[in-house]
Amino acid sequence: MFIDNNLDIKQQEAVDTNYKNVEVCAPPGSGKTTVIINRVCNLIENRKVKPHNIIVITFTKAAAVNMKKRYLNISKGTNNTPFFGTFHSLFYKILSKYTGKINIIEQEKSYEIVKHVLNLYMDSVSDEKVKKVLNDISFFKNQDSSIYNFDSSIDRSVFIDCFESYEEYKAKNSLMDFDDLQLKSKRLFLQRNDVLCNYRKLFKYILVDEFQDCDRLQIELLQLISYSNSIFAVGDEDQCIYSFRGSNPECMVNFHKYFDGGRKIFLSTNYRSNKNIVDISKALISNNKNRNSKIIKENKETIGKINFSVFERKVDESNYVSDKIKEFIDINKVEVNDIAVLYRTNIESRSIIDSFLKNNIKFKFLDKKYNFFEHFICQDIIAYLKLSVDEYDRNSFIKIINKPYRYVSKINIHKLRKYPVKENCFDILRGIDGLPIFQIKNMGKLKRKISKLSKIRLDEAVDLILNKLGYINYLKEYCNKVNTDISEVEDIIEEFKDACYGYNNIKDFLEYVEEFSNSIKDSLTSNADVIISSIHGVKGMEFKNVFIINCNEGIIPHSNSIPKSIEEERRLFYVGITRTIENLELCSVKTINGKTVKVSRFIEECEVITQ
């Protein structure tokens, strides 16, 4: 079996270590995967450890497949290989041996259950809201606390209803989720000492990738099965960015408290990035207190371009990014995946996609697609606009008729939906038998106001919807209902207004929205020149050219994270910067959604020069 002879001193030390429990602190680009694979090979080749006594745990299926493939290439395809897989796949395998067949609930079904409950409490439920609640459910299940003390992203009583409905459905249909696999495995180990002892005898060497991402339950499981065995944990607390899933840098900073006699080995060389990228990333992350003290040095002496630019508005920033990308593509002949545009929150992708669309730049989402105009607030305003140019549009009429509440009953809405003749929606409703006189009059007034929308400027039409038609009052009631900060709603509204900039009439704007949405659909199958992603989505990846947009206070660091989670926000920015191989563009704006904003404190901490 081939073992790499080109390892540096620190990598070789990690591969050869005799420490029982060891943490390998691996900064960005320091070759952690190479170390893990060579450690496995060393154990088998030089220490004569049986492959079935080794398990390698990763956080994604893709990482597990990649590691196994690299191992097989080295070991020349032997059938006797260690276990390479995620925490969930490991405990699925263990649990199914003792409980029989396990059926996992489909992600779509989980989404459907939670959305159904949320719909009982609110008129409009966004995809983001459902995903947040599902994430809260997962986070809660991995905590050892009462649901009545859990701080969820929605009203506690609503969260409890979502949680109980979700758990009841799984129990009724004999289903589990990924969290159940870990929880039930822990229970199995604690109740069946014979089972735990068998796995302790089997798993003599446990290697964990991305150790900083472990949550409390995963640490407890590792402690249970590693008793008298060896833990080889590889990670970087400076890249711990998933506290919302339960990860905490504490497990790496105080490794010895979690694993008896735990020692640390520090990889120190960044083989990925140019020297000045390494320099500014070190300057940034040194401001964190909850981290290991470490030396990080560059392997490359080359200097890439680091630019920091400030723009008046997001549209100016986006056009600058587009111009730079066109220059890269046309002049430098960059290849696919050589360019990444990164942002803190998904809403920021709207202005970038808009500019790419106008400049005919193909792009693709890396982690997951996000269409700003699919947010329920955007959908409601668009429905008002559509109805103003087509009063026969029943879907739009039904969507907005009770936003705000106009006392139109579900029975009458059903009659409207089933009405056999294509006719003006207002006239259909006013013609329903038994409709109160006040509603007939109100429908006449509403019809006149909505028809007025198509006769005025687009920005005036949006203001009329919000204020004269009462939609902003509906949104305030919505926020009170679901315990949401009104500022989140205001951000969506201001972003929508920003999207309207440059369009004078409704028809042109609606055509733009359709073109925008189609470009996002096309991006899913595109082999594009440019990747766009949240910073969270590119962890573990690298690109020759990286743009990070909206480096502003309130964005990164995010306003919700100041001051309580400022160190995690700094780690997130650190992850974004260290994806860069050669050139880095940091961009900031002076105003966002009509508000003056400051440059992110992280820019000063990076010690970059303002252009």
pLDDT tier at 611 (50, 70, 90 boundaries)?
A: very low
Q: Is 527 exposed, middle or buried (0-12, 13-18, 19+ CB in 10 A)?
A: exposed
Interatomic CA distance for residues 500 and 466, integer angstroms: 14
Q: Read off the pLDDT of residues 3-33 as tens digits, 9 standing for 90 and up.
A: 666 899 999 999 999 999 999 999 999 999 9
Say what the pTM is. 0.91
Cβ count near 148 (within 10 Å): 7
Cβ count near 39 (within 10 Å): 24
The answer on whether 404 is annotated among ligand-binding residues is no
Interatomic CA distance for residues 83 and 53, integer angstroms: 9
The answer on whether 29 is annotated among ligand-binding residues is yes
**How much is the pLDDT for 78?**
65
- Residue environment code for 103-120, b if the CB has 16+ CB neighbours within 10 A, otherwise e: eebeeeebeebbbebbee
Interatomic CA distance for residues 378 and 372, integer angstroms: 8
Q: Where are the alpha helices (DSSP H) in 57-177?
A: 61-75, 87-99, 107-121, 127-141, 156-172
Interatomic CA distance for residues 63 and 32, integer angstroms: 12
Interatomic CA distance for residues 468 and 283, integer angstroms: 51
Q: Read off the pLDDT of residues 119-138 as tens digits, 9 standing for 90 and up.
A: 888 777 878 889 889 999 99
Q: Is the pLDDT of residue 610 over 50?
A: no
Q: Read off the pLDDT of residues 284-318 as tens digits, 9 standing for 90 and up.
A: 999 999 999 999 999 999 999 999 999 999 999 99
Interatomic CA distance for residues 146 and 143, integer angstroms: 9
Interatomic CA distance for residues 55 and 34, integer angstroms: 16
The answer on whether 28 is annotated among ligand-binding residues is yes
Q: Are the C-beta atoms of 326 and 361 separated by less than 8 Å?
A: yes
> What DSSP assignment string belongs to 515-564?
HHHHHHHHHTT---SEEEEEGGGGTT--EEEEEE---BTBTTTBGGGTTT
Q: Are the C-beta atoms of 48 and 291 separated by less than 8 Å?
A: no
* Nearest-5° Cα angle at 510, 505 to 515: 130
Pull the structure tokens for residue 504: 């004078």
The answer on whether 388 is annotated among ligand-binding residues is no
Interatomic CA distance for residues 193 and 65, integer angstroms: 32
The 8-class DSSP code of residue 6 comes to: -
Q: Is the pLDDT of residue 116 over 70?
A: yes
Q: Distance between terminal CA atoms of the chain?
A: 53
The answer on whether 60 is annotated among ligand-binding residues is no
The answer on whether 30 is annotated among ligand-binding residues is yes
Q: Read off the pLDDT of residues 448-505 as tens digits, 9 standing for 90 and up.
A: 999 999 999 999 999 999 999 999 999 998 888 777 778 888 889 999 999 998 888 9
Q: Helices (H) and strands (E) in the chain — how many of each?
A: 26, 16
**How much is the pLDDT for 526?**
67
Pick from 307, 308, 236: nearest CA to 270 = 236
Cβ count near 72 (within 10 Å): 14
pLDDT tier at 248 (50, 70, 90 boundaries)?
A: very high
Q: Read off the pLDDT of residues 512-533 as tens digits, 9 standing for 90 and up.
A: 999 999 988 887 766 777 999 9
pLDDT tier at 595 (50, 70, 90 boundaries)?
A: confident
Q: Read off the pLDDT of residues 570-592 as tens digits, 9 standing for 90 and up.
A: 999 999 999 999 999 999 999 98
Query: Please, what is the angle between helix 178-191 and helix 127-141, to 10°?
Result: 10
pLDDT tier at 1 (50, 70, 90 boundaries)?
A: low
Q: Is 101 exposed, middle or buried (0-12, 13-18, 19+ CB in 10 A)?
A: exposed
Distances (CA, A) of 521 to 111, 363, 518, 526, 531: 21, 11, 5, 9, 15
Pick from 542, 610, 605: nearest CA to 573 = 605
Interatomic CA distance for residues 237 and 295, integer angstroms: 14
Interatomic CA distance for residues 136 and 338, integer angstroms: 35
Q: Read off the pLDDT of residues 207-220 as tens digits, 9 standing for 90 and up.
A: 999 999 999 999 99
Pick from 150, 145, 487: nearest CA to 133 = 150
Interatomic CA distance for residues 243 and 211, integer angstroms: 13
Q: Is the pLDDT of residue 107 over 60?
A: yes
